[in-house]
Amino acid sequence: MISLIFCGDLKYCPYLARYTERLEKQLIPYRVLFWNRGNFTLNLPENYVYYDTPSDEGLGKLQKLKDFVGFRKWVVNQLKNSKSDGLILLSTLTGVLLFDKIKEYNKKYIFDIRDYSYEHIAIFRKIEKKIIKNSYFTAISSKGFQAFLPEYNYIIAHNFNRNEMIEAPKFKKRELPLKIVWNGTVRFFDFQKQYLDALKNDDRFQLVYHGSGTDLEKYKEYCFTNEIHNVVFTGAYDNRDKYKLLKDAAILNNCYGGRDGDQLKYAISNRFYDGLLYHIPQLVETDGYKAEVTAKLGIGVSLKSGSSFADELFTYYENIVADKFDIACTEALTDVIKEDNKYIKKLDEFITK
């Protein structure tokens, strides 16, 4: 049996499905050990076992630490009472919390890193390095992470859902106003408002936000107060309708930067893959790995906000050469699939060995 462990609510671990799909395909028994930190009402199969102790994210550091120690003790007891043949540690923090308890699983666990976490702390880096060294393999979701992680032959585990693959549409220039589309949780208001200001009531553009989130009301209030009329909010959506929401998009708004510093600087977002799948150019922040990648691949643009932002964005779009852009998206997606095949092969080796 394989135990998959995540120190948080499963809604923050969508990549869990990449593992469970392969385990089920190979008929390998597994269980998922996680923390129902948000005190959600859950209806899950018996092999999903959770630490049912809520912990508000707004708690002080000492109380948070106490709660994480409680989760750690619970997981240790779970592993002691029911021996696993292997572990899959989902997130850096999960691995570091259990670093001294996984020694007996030397080369019998996968370590999956999806974000920058506490690598600025020396002892954290030291522990993380040991976990990586002793893993069967360590997966990262962005090559940008290699800037802060120790040298190692990492496996790339893209935040990419192969079930969403479609026959790629050809790039097509859209009529005015050009829709700049955000899809997903509506957040990062403090960063995004610079685009609201830069494109305010410019009849060449319409900013569209598909999704809900804690920042949504901030966006609405800001647009109302500042009389910004070329912004549309459509609310929550079913992910199965993503194609419908993106089919008229001229540019994907793939800008996260600013608020969380290094936590986002090295990451590749899910929206990056939407751009490749649907052949939509993407706008990304200037400071980060996404800017480097989109420029290198020829699939998007990064621009500093300011008085010339709207003109520069419009000029970029007007100068896109359709055939060249389509080829760039196809080639980039082909490389993603090749890397994803390596990840799947390595994962299958681990769960069937």
Instruction: Give domain status of residue 345, yes or no.
Output: no
Same domain, 48 and 184: no
Same domain, 152 and 240: no
298-335 residue pLDDT tens: 999 999 888 899 999 999 999 999 999 999 999 999 99
Other Cβ atoms closer than 10 A to 135: 24
**pTM of the complete model:** 0.90
Same domain, 96 and 194: no
Instruction: Give domain status of residue 126, yes or no.
Output: yes
**Residue at a domain's end among 97, 132, 157:** 157
Instruction: Give domain status of residue 339, yes or no.
Output: no
Same domain, 52 and 171: no
Instruction: Give domain status of residue 137, yes or no.
Output: yes
Same domain, 142 and 86: yes
Same domain, 9 and 102: yes
3-state secondary structure of 346: helix
Instruction: Give domain status of residue 337, yes or no.
Output: no
**Residue at a domain's end among 127, 157, 187:** 157
Tokens of 215: 């920042």
The total domain count for the chain is: 2
Question: What averages of pLDDT result for each successive group of 10 residues across the chain (353 residues)?
Answer: 96 93 96 95 95 89 93 96 94 96 95 93 96 98 95 95 81 96 93 95 98 93 98 93 92 78 79 95 92 96 92 98 97 96 97 91
Same domain, 185 and 237: yes
Same domain, 149 and 235: no
149-168 residue pLDDT tens: 999 999 999 988 888 887 77
Say if residues 283 and 300 touch (Cβ distance below 8 Å).
yes
Return the pLDDT at 262.
62
Sheet holding 300-302, edge to edge: 231-235, 205-210, 178-183, 251-253, 282-284, 300-302
If residue 112 lies in a helix (H) or strand (E), which one and from where to where? strand 109-113
Same domain, 207 and 307: yes
How far is Cα 340 from Cα 324, in angstroms, rounded to an integer?
A: 24
Instruction: Give domain status of residue 344, yes or no.
Output: no
Return the pLDDT at 259.
47
Same domain, 170 and 311: yes
- Give whole-number Cα distances, 274 to 201, 236, 333, in Å: 27, 18, 10
Instruction: Give domain status of residue 100, yes or no.
Output: yes
Say if residues 201 and 229 touch (Cβ distance below 8 Å).
yes
3-state secondary structure of 255: coil
Instruction: Give domain status of residue 347, yes or no.
Output: no
3-state secondary structure of 33: strand
CATH code, domain with 100: 3.40.50.2000
**Residue at a domain's end among 87, 122, 157:** 157
Same domain, 251 and 315: yes
Q: Which domain holds residue 176?
A: 164-332
Same domain, 262 and 222: yes
Return the pLDDT at 335.
96
Whether a cis peptide bond, with omega within 30° of 0, leads into 177 is: yes
